[in-house]
Amino acid sequence: MSATTIISLMAEPSGTVLGAAPRTAENVHTYLSAGGYQELPHPDRLLEHIAEAGLGGRGGAGFPAAVKLRAVRDGGAPPVVVANGEEGEPGSAKDRWLLRARPHLVLDGLAHAAAITGATRGCVYLSDPAAGAAVRRALAEREQPLPIEIVETPHTYVAGEESAVVRRINGGPALPTAKPPRPFEQGVDDRPTLVSNVETLARIALIASRPHVRRRTAGSALVTLSGGDGDAVLAEVSYGVTLRNLATLQGTHDPAGALMGGLFGGLIGAVSLDLPLDPSALAAARTAAGCGAIRFLGAGECPVSVACEAVGHLATQSARQCGVCVAGTGSIRDTVHTLHLGTAAPDALAKLLRWSKGLPGRGACGLLDASAGTAGSLLRAFPDITRAHLDSPCPSCAAAPRGRGLSVPVPEIAPSPAAPAPALKGTP
């Protein structure tokens, strides 16, 4: 993968999650100067704005933010709010960038979520040391309206799953648990808990400070684009832009397809690249943007090779709590690997099809679903190419670099300028 990640600025960056200076870390002075930490609107009114805007969660599932906020608010005991910055998808860099570059925006959103739900405790959950240092500096610069602690976790694919988040904050390992109960019912300290992705919270802060453009705020997303011919790109784009246009933005011309949603949206072929970046349209096409990570396939790149890399990563990241997940991800990995090598048995495609239909929903988290979905999407989007791997080894697969990896680096961020004295701690 690319050794660098470029930030793509929008034409009018003011009022966006990227902000006016995305290559420089913010401090409390720059955040206040940009209109941050304004007096809180009435929580019920802000919740109405969030609902009217149609803001969906940005952690991957896209669940309506207002519905989740209401469920936690109405849960009974004083809730806990958690900013989830643990970025499990290897192709995504947005959450780590947000915490490193715009920690005050995330903390502002967390405070608004606490006001809406009535929470008396907040947590920022992460694994990235640079992100942790940036959040600690931000907390030292300005006192927050509720106690906020930073909870660190070892980085794994499943560590950001919401029940794993709760389990880790409660002192256990960052591993998913069986559901129900879900965190909004019984989470941290057995209290109703909002586990919200850091980009979702950032957009809540923007809606609070700029309610007149709330629909535009909710209708935009941070995307991490990689693969193909260009450098990785972190961009903020509006829903409706086509996937093909995003490939051009990233520098991949004539892409053969894409791996969508990190590892959760599966593979799509070139014909699907004219789809808009829109949750409903993508769902209708049996794919998803998920966390906004999209890896494009360059011209001539074999989708079997990409699928092999994806399901191999998922198999190594299994929490190994569910027997069906250990066996299922391992079997999918091994079978796709034989296709990659050109040594697959005649029934390999039939096995992959059966697993893609029968395994989703059987694990404690979505990792098994992602593996099965990747296998099914390979068969669906590239049937002829996949079938050809039964007959002879693929020259493209044989030439694919080993250990290329799926990860993209976080864009480089210049240090925050020194805030003027005296410190603005406690300033509204």
Q: pLDDT digits over 340-391, tens only?
A: 999 999 999 999 999 999 999 888 888 999 999 999 999 999 999 999 999 8
Cβ neighbours of 372 (radius 10 Å) = 27
Q: Identify which has the larger pLDDT, 417 or 138.
A: 138
Q: What is the reported pLDDT for 424?
A: 45
Distances (CA, A) of 331 to 2, 265, 337, 338, 354: 30, 20, 10, 11, 12
Q: What is the reported pLDDT for 9?
A: 58
pLDDT confidence bin for 422, thresholds 50/70/90: very low
Q: What is the reported pLDDT for 426?
A: 43
**221 pLDDT above the threshold of 80:** yes
Please enumerate in sequence order all residues whose Cβ is within 8 A of that of 397, keeping only pairs 6 or more positions apart, or say none.
302, 304, 305, 308, 340, 341, 342, 389
Q: Give the neighbor-by-neighbor strand order of the sheet with 148-152.
A: 148-152, 121-126, 80-84, 193-197
Tokens at 403, concatenated: 């250990």
Q: What is the reported pLDDT for 14?
A: 54
pLDDT confidence bin for 95, thresholds 50/70/90: very high
Alpha carbon distance 98, 22 (integer Å): 9
pLDDT confidence bin for 99, thresholds 50/70/90: very high
Contact present, 61 and 52 (Cβ < 8 Å): no
**5 pLDDT above the threshold of 80:** no
Which of these ranges, 48-52, 174-178, 239-243, 402-406, has the smallest mean pLDDT? 402-406
Q: What is the reported pLDDT for 420?
A: 56
Superfamily of domain 9-217: NADH-ubiquinone oxidoreductase 51kDa subunit (3.40.50.11540)
Mean pLDDT of the 170-187 span:
92
Q: What is the reported pLDDT for 62?
A: 82
Q: What is the reported pLDDT for 39?
A: 79
Mean pLDDT of the 229-256 span:
93
Percent of the chain with pLDDT strictly greater than 90: 79
Could you tell me the pTM of the whole model? 0.93
**428 pLDDT above the threshold of 50:** no
Q: What is the reported pLDDT for 4?
A: 64
Domain ranges of the chain: 9-217, 221-399
Q: How far is CA 236 from the centre of its chain?
A: 14
**239 pLDDT above the threshold of 70:** yes
pLDDT confidence bin for 7, thresholds 50/70/90: confident
Which of these ranges, 26-30, 372-376, 386-390, 396-400, has the smallest mean pLDDT? 396-400
Q: What is the reported pLDDT for 3?
A: 56
Tokens at 107, concatenated: 């903390």
CATH architecture of 221-399: Roll (3.10)
Mean confidence (pLDDT) of the chain = 91
Mean pLDDT of the 109-136 span:
97
Alpha carbon distance 167, 156 (integer Å): 14
**86 pLDDT above the threshold of 80:** yes
